[in-house]
Amino acid sequence: MAGGFVQYHEHSIVQILVIISFFFFLSLAEWLSAKVIRAGIIGLTAVGIIYGKPLADILELEWQHTFIALGYVGLILIIFEGGLGARIDLLKQNFSLSMIGAATGVCFPIGLSYLLLYLGFDYGAAETFIIGAALSATSLSSRTVDLSQTRVGSVLVSAAVIGDVVGLVMSSVISDLGSLGSGSSVNLGWLIGRPIVASIAMAIVTPIVTKYLFAPLFRNYIEHHFARYDHISNIVLMVLVLCAFISIAAYAGTSVLFGAFLAGTFLSYIPSKHPEAPFVVASREESEREADKSPMFVHTFERYLVDVQKYLMEPLFFANVGFAIPFMQLWAGKRVWRGVVFTLLMVVAKFVVGSWIPIWQVLFPTNNKRAKQPQDEESNNSEPTGAHNNTGPSVSQEKQRRRPPNLSSKPSSTTWLSALLLGSAMVVARGEIGLLIIEIGYNETSYVTEDGFITGAYGKRIGEGEWGLQRAEAVGGVRSDNRGEGTESAA
């Protein structure tokens, strides 16, 4: 047989129809499950179960392996997009509460897993940790409701991001645990510590070198050239940065996905933030219309990558999850009731995160001026013109001066609604990081058994309340919004 090239063979009509039907049913199942139960990934996973080895095994095995590789690239793009859209400013404003919420969302599932699986069901310690770690990860995919401008929304997103970062680190640790089961001589401390040390080092070094080296270099010598080529310049830099970060993460011993997240945050920070800077634009259309303006990196992602991610790569990733689920083995009686009990326990473990909002309200009363500010401004605007010409303060100003601060130490109805929102969102949020952790534990280590794998496998009122609308601090007359358009001046 001749070498040096791949011979082309036309596929049979059956193979072509199988591929067409696979992608068609992926789209149809995602739309249908999103409409019925508001969880599109359930439909995607179901199609993967049917077309993959767990059930009908319709797809050829080499195709399944190809789709697994493409799906993992889709997961990298999901995490990269999360980094591009990360609101570091809102994370700073609610850092303490977000850290406590993230820690609760990680520790409670692992702790309760030990109580149930290790003590109650006699699972191994390492297996229990892997299963609990998988259930501790949270990843948000809400494109229908924008809560990023609310205080509870910023806490939710920040806690989810921090929890995912911890989950990515744990996925690296769990992946390395496979070396212990192979019988090779390894240093356990270094095996577990290397991903943690590498992740912490990257998390510390990246913002430092970004702020003091790469951002000044980009802003002084590179940025003004990007307006000439707009999206082309952006996409080239995005690919280079993403490949660099995931390569560094891989060779350092931490998660490639953590590198993808850091790559996104890196790109979101390096452009200048002053109002006249090329990357400070109100919309993608303005950046493409004005000769001296550049589209932001998130704009470029939305134009060239988001459709590929949403309609191809992301569905393939969740179909891959279906490929890996031992569906026929799910329905043993013991496995079913254990899975139900464990699910209910994990719902409680995640829902408890919301309890921090009323606790925080009691411990640190907030001056709730948000709901009253519009009325105050309206009353001030309705003052007679002559009132401002008096030498003394106006009647409205005097009342405002005498009004005591509204320090609310007792949780209000909106506080409880916000707590309910935070807790339920932590429960129902998409968990692709958790799926990745449990699959790594099952496929690459000897600790997770099949039983363990199967067991594991009111907006307006809130917006006007204490935990409602929260804008980023304005600097230089520019405010941040949820799409990163017009971020605050930091330089």
Q: What is the pLDDT of residue 420?
A: 78
The pLDDT, as a whole number, for residue 166 is: 76
- Residue 367 gets which letter from DSSP? E
Separation of CA 39 from chain center: 16
Backbone angles phi, psi at 489, to 5 degrees: -70, 130
Question: For the chain, how big is the Rg over CA atoms in Å?
Answer: 26
Instruction: Measure the N-to-C terminal CA separation of the chain; round to a whole number of Å.
Output: 62
**108 Cβ partners below 8 Å, 6+ apart?**
136, 349, 350, 352, 353
CA angle 430, 432, 436 (to 5 degrees): 155
Query: Cα separation of 392 and 127, whole Å?
Result: 73
> Rounded distance, CA 115 to CA 131, Å?
13
CB neighbours of residue 385 within 10 Å: 6
Classified as helix, coil or strand, 408 is strand
At 430, the amino acid letter reads: R
| Token digits of residue 353 | 């995160």
Residue type, 418: S
State the Cα–Cα distance between residues 85 and 487, nearest whole angstrom: 11
Q: In the chain, what are the helix, strand and coil shares in percent, each to the nearest 5? A: 70, 0, 30
With vertex at residue 332, the alpha carbon angle to CA 327 and CA 334, rounded to the nearest 5 degrees, is: 130
Distance CA 43, CA 34 (A): 8
pLDDT by position in tens, the chain (length 491): 456 788 888 889 999 999 999 999 999 999 998 888 877 888 999 999 999 988 999 999 999 999 999 999 998 998 898 888 876 776 777 778 878 887 888 888 888 888 888 888 888 877 787 777 777 666 554 443 455 556 666 677 667 777 777 777 777 777 766 666 555 566 667 777 788 888 889 989 999 999 999 999 999 999 888 888 888 999 999 999 999 999 999 898 888 888 998 999 999 999 988 888 888 888 888 888 888 888 889 999 999 999 999 899 989 988 988 888 878 877 777 778 877 887 787 788 878 888 888 888 788 776 544 444 444 444 444 444 444 444 444 444 544 454 444 444 566 667 777 777 777 777 765 556 666 666 666 666 666 666 666 666 644 455 455 565 555 544 433 444 444 443 333 33
Per the confidence metrics, is the pTM higher than 0.85? no
- AA letter at 344: L
